[in-house]
A and B are shown apart, each in its own frame.
Chain A
Amino acid sequence: MIIYNIWTVLQWYVRPILKWFLRKTTRLCELQRICYGDIAGAQRTRNVEKSLSLSRTKDVKEVISFLDRVVLEKQFVPNNFHNLLDPSISIIMRVKKINPRLHSAFISPFRSCLEQIWSYKNLVIEVEELRTIQFDSNNIEHEEKLLKLWSLLVPDETLESRISKQWQYIGFQGDDPKTDFRGMGLLGLENLLFFASQYPRASSHVLSHSLHPTYGYTFAIVGINLTAMAYYLLKDGCAKTYMFNAKQYLPNLNLFHRFYCFLFYEFDKMWIESKPQNIMEFSVIFKKFENAIRTELADPASVFRINIEVDIV
């Protein structure tokens, strides 16, 4: 603890000196060095975020709190990016004395970083909102989503009634799934629904594993446990590696769902490979899985993709 404190104090004094020295020798400010030097994706964006958050310049701090406020007001949407980011970028370039003529190549990567950083913050709020909505059987929309989940996962069998033992087939606990979403609320249902609708092959593959006579598990309940895992990884920032390396997409709800699908697919793989004796081994294997994912996310170069190789056996 003491060593950590000394380190923080040292950093406080040493950092500006180091930055000044590098600025003089490279003629570039820290943000430029990051945008020119670091590989696009998690590495660059995380470093830009860190550099901005450590900044002691008044104008930079104001830009940050302005964008934070915009996120809270739910105005940080792609349509507004131009109006929000153009002035933000020019303020930062002005205070950092970056010549826009000489360094036009700086603007585009820096802009992408800002888009990613604040889209992530926006996503955290959206996910939290969805999580706090309780599944409500009086809400027609909620009910329709639940029934859609059934028809996507078990297309060949109709649900005999809304309250039915059949729900246990896809891994709910009893005859009414409504009490199973609990602390993950609608987020748990939306995650499952996305997996079933956007990755039909992968999800039916995983569902078939969950029905295995010895290595079987409760598909939906495990799914809700994975929702919780994805949620925690998002909140503590570990998921940034995944989100910032997804080059085609900005962090948004769909990307969060994709992250979830990736986790589900990978968990299933690890579970089957572990050859568990029964479902009681879940807690141990789940923990092991989480640690493996956290290790992978700690490497900014990690890129995640579902590699579907449906085995025929």
Chain B
Amino acid sequence: MGLLDILKKLRSNPEKELRLLLLGLDNAGKTTLLKQLASEDVNHVIPTAGFNIKSVLSNGFKLNVWDIGGQRKIRPYWRNYFENTDILIYVVDCSDHHRLEETSLELAELLLDDKLRAVPLLVYANKQDLATALPASEIAQHLGLHLIRDRTWQIQACVATDGTGVKEGMEWVCKNINVKK
């Protein structure tokens, strides 16, 4: 079963446009994830200056995925994309130990924002194929996910470059939307 099939499951809510926001530090793997979702080649990914957006259509259902650049200079502009977000997807490079604190600070700030209040959060613990990658459970601890009370959340281990775990994350997104609406 491909990603498209999962997305087709979202049919229960026809004519609805969903807005998925992909955030995370630079080099976390947001664009690779976006390409994986759109079933595109992931070998030519380059740093995002600005943002990328892709729409995945499935039976009158439109999924707009916004992938915003993660470098420090761009982060102040993240806020401009918060409005009407249905799901927040936060991507973490689990092999980047040095910046674990930086990424949890950025996430904490996002969760405090009014525009993102109660928006369900999916964290992708990316790059699990690397030997130095921390497991998803440890990432969850670092990010303090268990302290979140005002929204549903999920953490999903994944390898964006080959698609491992990406599907499972999107399945959670599907279920969550069905419960919510």
Interface set of A (CB-CB < 8 Å, partner B): 168, 173-174, 179-180, 182-184, 188, 217-218, 221-222, 224-225, 227-228, 231, 278-283, 286
Q: How far is the CA of A174 from the CA of B80 in the complex (A)?
A: 22
- CB proximity to A under 8 Å, residues B101-126: none
Among all A-B residue pairs, the 4 with the closest Cβ atoms: A282-B50, A173-B71, A183-B44, A283-B50
When the two chains form their complex, are residues B47 and A224 in contact, meaning their CB atoms are under 8 A apart? yes
Q: Within 8 Å CB of A228, what residues of B?
A: 44, 46
Count, A-B residue pairs, CB within 8 A: 66
> What 0/1 pattern do residues 8 to 49 of B give for CB contact below 8 A with A?
000000000000000000110000000000000001111101
Q: Within 8 Å CB of B70, what residues of A?
A: 173
Is B149 interfacial (CB-CB < 8 Å)? Answer: no
Is B52 interfacial (CB-CB < 8 Å)? Answer: yes
When the two chains form their complex, are residues A184 and B50 in contact, meaning their CB atoms are under 8 A apart? no
When the two chains form their complex, are residues A279 and B43 in contact, meaning their CB atoms are under 8 A apart? no
Q: Given contacts A179-B27, A184-B46, A218-B73, could you give 19 more A-B pairs where the C-beta distance is less than 8 Å?
A: A168-B72, A168-B73, A173-B47, A173-B72, A180-B27, A182-B27, A217-B49, A218-B49, A221-B47, A221-B49, A221-B71, A225-B47, A227-B46, A228-B46, A279-B49, A280-B51, A280-B80, A283-B50, A283-B52
> What 0/1 pattern do residues 55 to 80 of B give for CB contact below 8 A with A?
00000000000000111111001001
Interface set of B (CB-CB < 8 Å, partner A): 26-27, 43-47, 49-53, 69-74, 77, 80
Centre residue among B26, B73, B77 by max chain A CB count within 10 A: B73
- Given known pairs A173-B71, A283-B52, the reply for A278 and B27 (CB within 8 Å) is no
Q: How far is the CA of A281 from the CA of B73 in the complex (A)?
A: 14
- Given known pairs A278-B77, A279-B73, A280-B51, the reply for A173 and B27 (CB within 8 Å) is yes
Q: Within 8 Å CB of B72, what residues of A?
A: 168, 173-174
Rounded to whole Å, the gap between the CB of B132 and the closest CB of chain A is: 14
- Given known pairs A278-B77, A281-B50, A282-B50, the reply for A174 and B26 (CB within 8 Å) is yes
Rounded to whole Å, the gap between the CB of B160 and the closest CB of chain A is: 12
Q: How far is the CA of A283 from the CA of B53 in the complex (A)?
A: 9
Q: Within 8 Å CB of A222, what residues of B?
A: 49
When the two chains form their complex, are residues A183 and B49 in contact, meaning their CB atoms are under 8 A apart? no
When the two chains form their complex, are residues B47 and A279 in contact, meaning their CB atoms are under 8 A apart? no
Q: Within 8 Å CB of B50, what residues of A?
A: 279-283, 286
Question: From A232, which residue of chain B is reached at the shortest CB distance?
Answer: B44
Question: From A184, which residue of chain B is reached at the shortest CB distance?
Answer: B46
Question: From A217, which residue of chain B is reached at the shortest CB distance?
Answer: B49
Rounded to whole Å, the gap between the CB of B32 and the closest CB of chain A is: 9
Q: Within 8 Å CB of A280, what residues of B?
A: 50-51, 74, 77, 80
Q: Within 8 Å CB of A188, what residues of B?
A: 46
- Given known pairs A183-B43, A228-B44, the reply for A282 and B49 (CB within 8 Å) is yes
Partner of A180, one of B44, B47, B80: B47
Q: Within 8 Å CB of B49, what residues of A?
A: 217-218, 221-222, 225, 279, 282-283, 286
When the two chains form their complex, are residues A225 and B46 in contact, meaning their CB atoms are under 8 A apart? yes
Q: Within 8 Å CB of A217, what residues of B?
A: 49
Question: From B44, which residue of chain A is reached at the shortest CB distance?
Answer: A183
When the two chains form their complex, are residues B44 and A279 in contact, meaning their CB atoms are under 8 A apart? no
- Given known pairs A280-B51, A282-B50, A283-B52, the reply for A174 and B45 (CB within 8 Å) is no
Q: How far is the CA of A231 from the CA of B73 in the complex (A)?
A: 27
Q: Within 8 Å CB of B51, what residues of A?
A: 280, 283
Q: How far is the CA of A278 from the CA of B50 in the complex (A)?
A: 9
- Given known pairs A173-B71, A174-B71, A283-B52, the reply for A182 and B46 (CB within 8 Å) is yes
A and B contact pairs by CB, cutoff 8 A, 8 listed: A182-B45, A183-B45, A183-B46, A221-B71, A231-B44, A279-B50, A279-B73, A283-B50
